[in-house]
Amino acid sequence: MAVLQFFPPSSPVVSSKLHAVVLFNICDCYVRRPDQADRVIGTLLGSVSDGVIEIKNSYAVPHNESADQVALDVDYHRNMYLSHLKVNPKEVLVGWFSTGFGVSGGSALIHEFYVKELKEAQSSIPPIHLTVDTGFKNGEASIKGYVSSNLSLGDRPLAAQFQEIPLDLRMIEAERVGFDILKTTVVDKLPNDLEGMEASMERLHSLLDEIYKYVGDVVEGRVAPDNDIGRFLADTLASVPRMSPAAFDKVFNDKIQDNLALVYLSSLVKTQLGIAEKLNTAAQIL
């Protein structure tokens, strides 16, 4: 009796984490794709730990697609991979990306190629396939990650099944840079220290206002109390160290004095530089 077997993902891959730079690179490649191409594909590099694939880097690979066949520039892929390894040997091949919505016909063939590549590299994980819907088909940014598992009849392989895995799109680096900069098409000026600080303070202020309002509402009985939120607020308040006003004043004033001393020092140095320059030019006239 032939048994239709479905191998559940033998891999330890549970989820995947996408870095913002990869997304930007894919968008850039798509914008710069050749005239006749519908989609761009490319290689993903990154690292694996505890079943989480971190996708850290990527590069596009030229390819040709017709109705029934896909030609991938394998040499290009290998050259580029070697070049990338020279810079950062810790970033290894983890999979491939393609633009477009979901998995399409030619994808199985390309995926097979990457499965082989990864096997050769003796990687412990199967490749991940990332799709980025650059066409915004459903009116939303759909970015998905898949791993494939084999569907076979007895020993005969029948098909490959692509299974979606959770994708972490939080992108901490992008947060560091600031979404304000990455979100708009043109930013005229980078925010400096104080402007950034001001924005942060404003956000903090509005958050405090919100909490204030919420607590007020609960106390007045306008909003049903939520124990979780209440506990969270209590914890937050408890985390502020208790200090006597005198002690706090002392710490505060000390800190302020330190800072003032530093500012004073730096202006002193600057003045010194000014004088030194004047003296040097005077010496030249001699």
Partner 1 sequence: MANTMPRSFLQAAATSEEVAPPLRVVQIEGLAVLKIIKHCNEFLPSLVTGQLLGLDVGSVLEVTNCFPFPIREEDEEIEADGANYQLEMMRCLREVNVDNNTVGWYQSTLMGSFQTVELIETFMNYQENIRRCVCIVYDPSRSAQGVLALKALKLTDSFMDLYRNNNFTGEKLREKNLSWVDIFEEIPIKVSNSALASAFMTELEPELPVKQCDYDRLKLSTAPYMERNLEFLIDCMEDLSAEQNKFQYYYRNLSRQQAQQQTWLQKRRVENMARKAAGEEPLPEEDPANPIFKPILEPSRVDSYLITNQISNYCNQINGVATQSFNRLYLMKALHED
Residues 52-91 that bind partner 1 (CB under 8 A): 56-57, 59-62, 76, 79-80, 83, 86-88
Q: What is the C-alpha to C-alpha distance for residues 205 and 185, in angstroms, rounded to an integer?
A: 28
The count of chain residues that interact with partner 1, using the rule CB under 8 A, is: 91
Single out the residue of 96, 44, 46 nearest to residue 70, CA to CA.
96
Contact segment (CB under 8 A) with partner 1 among 109-117, 121-129, 140-148, 149-157 equals 140-148
The answer to whether residue 273 forms part of the interface with partner 1 (CB under 8 A) is yes
The answer to whether residue 192 forms part of the interface with partner 1 (CB under 8 A) is yes
Exactly one of 191, 215, 223, 229 binds partner 1 (CB under 8 A); that residue is 191
Exactly one of 11, 21, 102, 115 binds partner 1 (CB under 8 A); that residue is 21
Per CB under 8 A, contacts with partner 1 among 148-177 are 169-177
User: Own/partner pairs for 132-139, CB < 8 Å, 24+ apart?
Assistant: 132/23, 132/26, 132/27, 132/30, 132/97, 132/98, 132/99, 132/100, 133/99, 133/100, 133/101, 133/102, 134/26, 134/27, 134/30, 134/99, 134/100, 135/99, 135/100, 135/101, 137/101, 138/101
Residue 268 backbone dihedrals phi, psi, to 5 degrees = -60, -45
The answer to whether residue 238 forms part of the interface with partner 1 (CB under 8 A) is no
Single out the residue of 42, 15, 24 nearest to residue 174, CA to CA.
24
The answer to whether residue 113 forms part of the interface with partner 1 (CB under 8 A) is no
The answer to whether residue 217 forms part of the interface with partner 1 (CB under 8 A) is no
Return the number of the residue (153 or 275) whose C-beta is nearest partner 1: 275
Return the number of the residue (41 or 160) whose C-beta is nearest partner 1: 41
The answer to whether residue 255 forms part of the interface with partner 1 (CB under 8 A) is yes
Contact segment (CB under 8 A) with partner 1 among 112-120, 151-159, 224-232, 265-273 equals 265-273
The answer to whether residue 280 forms part of the interface with partner 1 (CB under 8 A) is yes
Exactly one of 30, 101, 113, 214 binds partner 1 (CB under 8 A); that residue is 30
Return the number of the residue (164 or 202) whose C-beta is nearest partner 1: 202
Q: What is the C-alpha to C-alpha distance for residues 197 and 191, in angstroms, rounded to an integer?
A: 9
Residue 113: partners with Cβ closer than 8 Å, 6 or more residues away: 72, 74
Q: For residue 129, with 0-12 CB atoms within 10 Å meaning exposed, 13-18 middle and 19 or more buried, which class applies?
A: buried
The answer to whether residue 247 forms part of the interface with partner 1 (CB under 8 A) is no
